[in-house]
A and B are shown apart, each in its own frame.
Chain A
């Protein structure tokens, strides 16, 4: 019984996070300006990281955690570079 609850909860979480990814993707495609796209891309990184954690819980596999960590690091670097590019027009000065 309790494992049924947990299975339902994990399924719901996967669907909800995919929905959040889709919403952020809509904002990234729609714009209207570059900073909106960068923000939406950062949100997509975060949602993908949470989705990886949930998939790891569904499979009972600890190694999805490492994928999630890599996504978090890459998301941080990508967003900082994009923000710096928007601010200055170049990334490395």
Chain B
């Protein structure tokens, strides 16, 4: 703990603020992970820790070791860049896996999962470039009133 006394007072206060804010945001993310109701909501909660928690604690660590060693210490940036690059990939893959599993399981959900369109109901010609652009209208899932209104609008436009 001797090294803490070598820091100038302003740096100690700044580092303390950064560390306390980062750790508090991480705990809030953990609380969200426990308290939110459905998986798709829970997917968002820990990103507080992933983004702000990592950013603030990495900044505090960089500032502290830069002042302690009297030279610029920036290797903590590697962690920051790595986390910023990988978190969207992992959470995207996890969310897609969960969506696929939910559609397969046909469980009751507290949140609407977009329906899977059966193969025979899909349009023969793929729409758009990927072929994944089928909307509710193509699947015949829109309520009749809404579809008629849309057709009327289309005719008026023609």
A-B interaction: yes
**B90-111: which have CB < 8 Å to A?**
90, 93-94, 96-98, 100-101
B116 interfacial by beta-carbon distance below 8 Å: no
> Nearest-CB distance from B1 to chain A (Å)?
7
With the chains together, A73 CA to B89 CA distance in Å? 13
A91 interfacial by beta-carbon distance below 8 Å: no
B139 interfacial by beta-carbon distance below 8 Å: no
Given A13-B19, A60-B3: A47 in contact with B33 (beta carbons within 8 A): no
B7 interfacial by beta-carbon distance below 8 Å: yes
> Nearest-CB distance from B97 to chain A (Å)?
4
CB pair A39–B43 under 8 Å, yes or no, is: yes
CB pair B54–A6 under 8 Å, yes or no, is: no
Residue of B nearest to A6 (CB): B12
Determine the interface band of chain A, counting residues with CB < 8 A from chain B: 35 or more
Give the interface SS of chain A, mostly helix, strand, loop or mixed.
Answer: helix
CB pair A69–B82 under 8 Å, yes or no, is: yes
B86 interfacial by beta-carbon distance below 8 Å: yes
Q: Which residues of B contact A (CB under 8 A)?
A: 1-5, 7-10, 12-13, 15-17, 19-20, 22-24, 26-27, 29-31, 33-34, 39, 42-43, 46, 49-50, 53-54, 57-58, 60-61, 64-65, 68, 73, 75-76, 78-79, 82-83, 86, 89-90, 93-94, 96-98, 100-101
**Given A5-B12, A19-B27, A65-B75, 12 extra CB contacts under 8 A:** A2-B12, A3-B1, A3-B12, A16-B23, A24-B30, A39-B46, A43-B46, A49-B54, A60-B2, A60-B3, A76-B82, A84-B93
Chain A to chain B contacts (Cβ below 8 Å), 14 pairs: A16-B27, A17-B23, A22-B30, A39-B43, A42-B90, A43-B49, A46-B46, A46-B83, A50-B54, A57-B64, A62-B73, A72-B83, A86-B97, A87-B101
